[in-house]
Amino acid sequence: MVNYATQRRSRRGKVVHRTKHVDIITPLPTVPSGKPVRSNGKRYIADILTDGMWEGRRCFIFGGGPSLHNFDYTKFTNELTIGTNKTILNFYPTINYSMDVTFFKYITSQDCVDEEQKIAQERWKNYNGIRAFMDQGLSKSNNTIYSVPKLNTRTISFSLEQGIYPGNNSGFGALILAIALKANPIYLLGFDMKIRENKTHCHGGYPKQDIIRLKKRFSRYIRLFTKFQPTFVELGYNVINCCIDSAIECFEKKPIEKVMLMECEQTAKPIITAFYTDDGLYKKHAERLIESCKKFNLEYDILIVEDRGSWDLNTKYKPSILRHMLYKHHPKPVVLVDADAIFVKDPTWFTSYKGDFAVHAVNWKEHGVKRRRSPELLSGTIIARNTDRVINLINQWEAGCIDSSSNWEQRVLQDIIGEGFDNLPAEYCCIYDTMSSFVPDPVVLHMQASREVRKLKR
């Protein structure tokens, strides 16, 4: 990393350093807020992503250049990806980013001028990834969009809360966003910055597009990438241009075929995650969970969250934490367990599971236990993959938790999902006492810390 020569100024939430080339903003640690819409009616990118969450993982950014015409996107399904503008016509990336007012109007207009626009609007409607727009007032009336705050000075920011410097084109802004997430290396595709046989884009372009003006803009875009390239190098970021005859010459060039021969990141071994409030009781349980993960060499990512004032409200962090981890660790599956869980055996079933969402539903009546719901879905252990279906389900779950102040989060989930899930073996979500009589060989035990909480409040 860079040896910063000076620290220029300090503010709440950020520290600004100066390099030879541009300023660097570093943030204070954050966790996902779980608040889907703020008081001003907007969602912000920091509400769903956290600073540096893709650290050290490769990311592919798709521009709109003609080199991507008839491109095979299928090999990128299990990669971290950022698309720009019309990428959604051909592929659903992890994030679709734009700073283009023209694209916003194109995707939201009631009057479609051609078939491509109709297709784009339909695919946008069905897209369950992160719709990110540079904050230019575009998202005030559209809470399906996440606003990216705009910095007006030439800056590399590692603070999503503060925002990014978007430059003068969506491709550059997408690159700066990937760096804020600390993805590394970063591969650029479709960054041609040239017109090929009168074809300006891999798609049909935009209404009233002027080729002469576009050529002039390309020159400005190229100068911006060239200006920032030395700082990328200083910071240790490896930016590789996979468009071999791109007019951008400041980055190393490598054919995408060679890149894809490199070791694939996908793995069946999941990330274990949980969250807890920083109090004595749940912290103690979380420490036991971490020790059990270490015992079986399980990769884990466990968060401390702000106490919302009650057990019920704290459990309603679940959908936002699960979604956050699916975006952070994609394409790996994520196992969300309650912080009072403990692994007593190696959870080998998780590695063999090929579906996208599994929880356990216990039929209490079969075991002579009187419960209001039978079968009852237990959300203490969930395994999920980042698919459109699952993200859509999580969004509904989160909205249901907000709308239902009285209903327990797992009941909200059960009402939404119905029977649309794979049944996790009971051994992987075993309540230590009520299920011990019919689950003799548990793998994941749940110790029901909530009972201790209720006792302490009496």
Query: Is the per-residue pLDDT at 230 higher than 70?
Result: yes
Instruction: State the chain's mean pLDDT as an integer.
Output: 84
Domain(s) labelled CATH 3.90.1480 in the chain stretch across 6-260
Task: With H, G, I as helix, E, B as strand and everything else as coil, classify residue 106.
Answer: helix
Task: Please compute the mean of the pLDDT values over residues 253-266 and round it to a whole number.
Answer: 76
401, amino acid identity: C
448, amino acid identity: Q
> CA 157 to CA 163: how far, in whole Å?
7
> CA 192 to CA 203: how far, in whole Å?
13
Domain(s) labelled CATH 3.90.550.10 in the chain stretch across 271-457
402 or 26, which is more confident?
402
CATH of domain 271-457: 3.90.550.10
pLDDT at 241 (0 to 100): 96
pTM, 2 dp: 0.76
pLDDT at 373 (0 to 100): 67
Residue-wise pLDDT tens digits, 348-394: 999 989 899 999 999 888 887 777 667 899 999 999 999 889 999 99
Query: Is the per-residue pLDDT at 199 higher than 80?
Result: no
pLDDT at 136 (0 to 100): 65
pLDDT at 457 (0 to 100): 46
Burial 122-157 (b: 16+ CB within 10 A, else e): ebbeebbbbbbbbbeebbeeeeebbbbbebeeebbb
pLDDT at 204 (0 to 100): 63
The string of DSSP codes covering 374-419 is: SSEEEEEEEEE---HHHHHHHHHHHHHHHH-SSS-HHHHHHHHHTT
> How many CA atoms lie within 13 Å of 87's alpha carbon, on the beta-carbon side?
30
> CA 359 to CA 422: how far, in whole Å?
6
pLDDT at 31 (0 to 100): 47
Percent of the chain with pLDDT over 70: 82
Task: Please compute the mean of the pLDDT values over residues 201-212 and round it to a whole number.
Answer: 66
409, amino acid identity: E
Confidence of residue 55 (pLDDT cuts 50, 70, 90): very high
pLDDT at 368 (0 to 100): 78
Query: Is the per-residue pLDDT at 104 higher than 90?
Result: no
82 or 435, which is more confident?
82
pLDDT at 6 (0 to 100): 33
Burial 219-245 (b: 16+ CB within 10 A, else e): eebbebbeebbebbebbebebbbbbee
126 contacts 89 by C-beta, under 8 angstroms: no
Confidence of residue 403 (pLDDT cuts 50, 70, 90): confident
Strand-strand pairing, 341-343 and 444-446: antiparallel
Query: Is the per-residue pLDDT at 7 higher than 50?
Result: no
How many C-beta neighbours within 10 Å does residue 31 have?
Answer: 15
183: left (phi over 0), alpha (psi -120 to 50) or beta: beta
Confidence of residue 37 (pLDDT cuts 50, 70, 90): very low
Burial 351-381 (b: 16+ CB within 10 A, else e): eebeebbbbbbbebeeeeeeeeeebbbbbbb
Out of 43-47, 78-82, 199-203, which region has the weakest mean confidence (pLDDT)?
199-203
pLDDT at 262 (0 to 100): 63
Residue-wise pLDDT tens digits, 289-337: 999 999 999 999 999 988 888 888 888 999 999 999 999 998 889 999 9
Task: Please compute the mean of the pLDDT values over residues 90-104 and round it to a whole number.
Answer: 91
Query: Is the per-residue pLDDT at 46 higher than 60?
Result: yes
412 or 136, which is more confident?
412
pLDDT at 458 (0 to 100): 40
CATH of domain 6-260: 3.90.1480
How many C-beta neighbours within 10 Å does residue 266 have?
Answer: 11
Out of 141-145, 266-270, 374-378, which region has the weakest mean confidence (pLDDT)?
266-270
* Token representation of residue 218: 């390309």
